[in-house]
Amino acid sequence: MALNRNYVLLFLFSLVMTASGLASLPPIDRDEPRFVQATKQMVESGDYVDIRFQDASRYQKPIGIYWLQSAAVTLSGEGADAPIWIYRTVSALGIAIAVLAIAWTGTNLFGASAGIAAGLVMAAIFATAFEGRDAKTDAMLLACCVAAQGALAQIYMASRRDQPAAGHLWWIFWIAQGAAILIKGPIGPLLSALTIATLFAFERDGRWLSRLKVGRGLALVVLIALPWLALITWKSHGAFLQQAVGKDMLGKVASGEESHGQPPGFYMLTYSLFMWPFGLIAVGAGLQALNRMRDDVRLRFCLAWYIPFWLVFELIPTKLPHYVLPAYPGMALLIGWLLTLQPQDAGAPLKRWQQWLWWSTAFGLVVVSLGLAVVCVAAPIYLTHTFSWWSIPAAAAALGAGYLAFSRQLQVPLPRIGATAACAGITYALLFGVIAPSLKPIWLSPAIKQAVLANKPCDTTVLASSQYHEPSLVFLVGTKTVLTSIGGVAEHLLADPACALGLAPIGDEQKLNGMLSVRGRSAARIAEVDGLNFSSGDKLSLGLYRLAP
């Protein structure tokens, strides 16, 4: 009963950790609005097979996340007019499920305290705090990966103890793999395959794999994933496979795609931010586990979960911080494991290179903690020229989390882990829920939406935008929004003189009027929106126009 209570509390703690900012944070360009707009168009059209952003196909990812977001939109009762927070609940739920799954895994491997510690860590690191507020694939993919790896860990441990594995575990493993494929293609299966291959290379014993019931499991995966894959392949005349596999997946493996090419070492450099505030504690636990993995198969499994996956993605040219998120639970488990040791056994001497790595990570913890505190204070001053009183508790909480996480003792007690997680949660709540939404100059699309609503002459008004082509504009202003050139704006205004609106840089106003003057018309600027496009770094001064009478 106490164990069930722990799971419920961890689940609720995770939801609380991601609640602030779900509604107040505007759509984050560029990926999130592409996902939610494609879902919105599914709801508008009733077509739940094809994936489109306006008139263009969007075949980078499979259908799973769009179905889940569509379900959330339908359950909300708001239909295609559902606000952004409805879509984000899927990600918040995905992180909560991942937290539950890692606690379940840690409890079965190392005991109840270890499970609680691992769950707290996963709920409170920066990576999950951000992804839980971002309506994309990664939070729900994490849930699938942790469920699959948790079942795999228990099957593996049962074989090493020469005990029967629970009959439901292979079902969980393969259902999670099928769901992961529908969410983000081969990433989930790749994680498990690398874990299995590493264990086999270390032990030269693969007899335990028979407990996975591979034949029946693969049939279950096919049953889950194949129907939609067959439908979309037929409907797109093969374009889905060509774009998703040939361009998106293989393109990222071969070269840096979408301006995200980075050299090896990128994930090591960003580790202290995305595992903040528990990166140092996790490194200490990981180094102790490395020194003992020959004697403890549980540690071997956790390291096989993290290290190979991290190495593979360090070698792939295209890099984004969330790509290695499915590896982080392996480190969270090791923090829990360290709690199970006697204090005199938990701090065994580290080798010279391990001390260097530990101190480097300690430096990273200090830099990130100070950096978050500075951002909380300086961002409102720099962008809005005002001081936010919420910056003080946010910065204090960030520094408090960093202080609590900086421990010379490798073994950190569970109450201190909980206090560190709570401080991190306060930081996220204020940073994402209050401070970031208040930075009005970087949120151009919501300002444009308000200007359009205040000035649109007709219910059927459609906006055409020149230069500012962010996906959030389409999601907020409407699916029919036209992303075009200055010439396209002129043509749009002339095509519907009574109702059309145009958006263009004020610096292009003379050019716009020159194009309209050929037809004896001119543009009237009815609103102005100034700000910073954080996606491109451009300062913009945009005018909202309609044809002058």
> Three-state SS across 283-315?
HHHHHHHHHHCCCCHHHHHHHHHHHHHHHHHHH
The predicted structure's pLDDT at residue 287: 94
Task: Order the strands of the 463-466 sheet from edge to edge.
Answer: 482-484, 463-466, 501-505, 538-547, 523-533
The answer for residues whose C-beta is within 8 angstroms of residue 503's C-beta and 6 or more apart is 448, 463, 464, 465, 466, 468, 489, 542, 543, 544, 545
Residue 1 has pLDDT above 90, yes or no: no
Q: How many CB atoms lie within 10 A of CB 70?
A: 20
Residues 256-266, mean pLDDT to the nearest whole number: 69
CA dihedral 294, 296, 299, 304 (to 10 degrees): 50
Report the interhelical angle of 64-76 vs 169-184 (nearest 10°): 90
- Gyration radius (Cα) of the chain, Å: 25
Alpha helices, H only, 20-137: 31-45, 64-76, 84-110, 112-124, 126-131
Q: Name the burial class of residue 207, with classes exposed (0-12), middle (13-18) and buried (19+) by CB atoms within 10 angstroms of its CB.
A: exposed
| Phi–psi pair at 505, nearest 5 degrees | -60, 140
Portion of the chain with pLDDT greater than 70, in percent: 97
Report the interhelical angle of 187-203 vs 297-315 (nearest 10°): 130
- 60 — alpha (psi -120 to 50), left (phi > 0) or beta? alpha
Residue 452 has pLDDT above 90, yes or no: yes
| Count of positions (residues) in the chain | 549
Residue 324 has pLDDT above 80, yes or no: yes
Residue 59 and residue 479: Cα distance in Å, rounded? 18
Residue 120 and residue 278: Cα distance in Å, rounded? 10
For residue 264, what is the DSSP state? T
Residue 246 has pLDDT above 70, yes or no: no
Residue 6 has pLDDT above 70, yes or no: yes
Amino acid at 380: P
Residue 66 has pLDDT above 80, yes or no: yes
Beta bridge partners of 542: 505, 529
Kindly tell me the number of DSSP H helices and DSSP E strands found in the chain. 24, 7
The predicted structure's pLDDT at residue 206: 87
Closest listed residue to residue 543, CA positions, set 504, 517, 501, 494: 504
The predicted structure's pLDDT at residue 265: 87
Indicate the range of 215-224, 227-236, 239-248, 522-531 predicted with least confidence. 239-248
The predicted structure's pLDDT at residue 242: 85
The predicted structure's pLDDT at residue 43: 96
Residue 250 has pLDDT above 80, yes or no: no
The predicted structure's pLDDT at residue 60: 87
Closest listed residue to residue 337, CA positions, set 487, 538, 113, 43: 113
Q: How far is CA 193 from the centre of its chain?
A: 22
What tokens does 48 get? Answer: 């739940």
Residues 79-107, mean pLDDT to the nearest whole number: 97
In which band, very low, low, confident or very high, does the pLDDT at 351 lie, cut at 50, 70 and 90? confident
Residue 4 has pLDDT above 90, yes or no: no
Work out the mean pLDDT of the chain and round it to a whole number. 94
The predicted structure's pLDDT at residue 261: 65
For residue 166, what is the DSSP state? P
Tokens 């979309």 — which residue? 232
Residue 259 has pLDDT above 80, yes or no: no
Residues 127-143, mean pLDDT to the nearest whole number: 97
Secondary structure element (H or E) that encloses residue 417, with its range = helix 414-430
Residues 230-252, mean pLDDT to the nearest whole number: 81
Residues 418-426, mean pLDDT to the nearest whole number: 98
Residue 230 and residue 232: Cα distance in Å, rounded? 6
Residue 275 has pLDDT above 80, yes or no: yes
In which band, very low, low, confident or very high, does the pLDDT at 343 lie, cut at 50, 70 and 90? confident
**Higher per-residue confidence, 138 vs 239:** 138
Residue 139 and residue 91: Cα distance in Å, rounded? 5
Tokens 């954080």 — which residue? 534
Strand runs labelled E in 217-357:
none
What tokens does 355 get? Answer: 């001390």
Report the interhelical angle of 2-19 vs 84-110 (nearest 10°): 150
Beta bridge partners of 547: 523
Q: Are 518 and 511 in contact (CB under 8 A)?
A: no
The predicted structure's pLDDT at residue 81: 92
In which band, very low, low, confident or very high, does the pLDDT at 3 lie, cut at 50, 70 and 90? low
The predicted structure's pLDDT at residue 308: 97
Residues 321-331, mean pLDDT to the nearest whole number: 96
In which band, very low, low, confident or very high, does the pLDDT at 408 lie, cut at 50, 70 and 90? confident
Residue 364 and residue 344: Cα distance in Å, rounded? 27
Q: How many CB atoms lie within 10 A of CB 53?
A: 18
The answer for residues whose C-beta is within 8 angstroms of residue 193's C-beta and 6 or more apart is none
Residues 63-85, mean pLDDT to the nearest whole number: 96
The predicted structure's pLDDT at residue 327: 97
Residues 423-442, mean pLDDT to the nearest whole number: 97
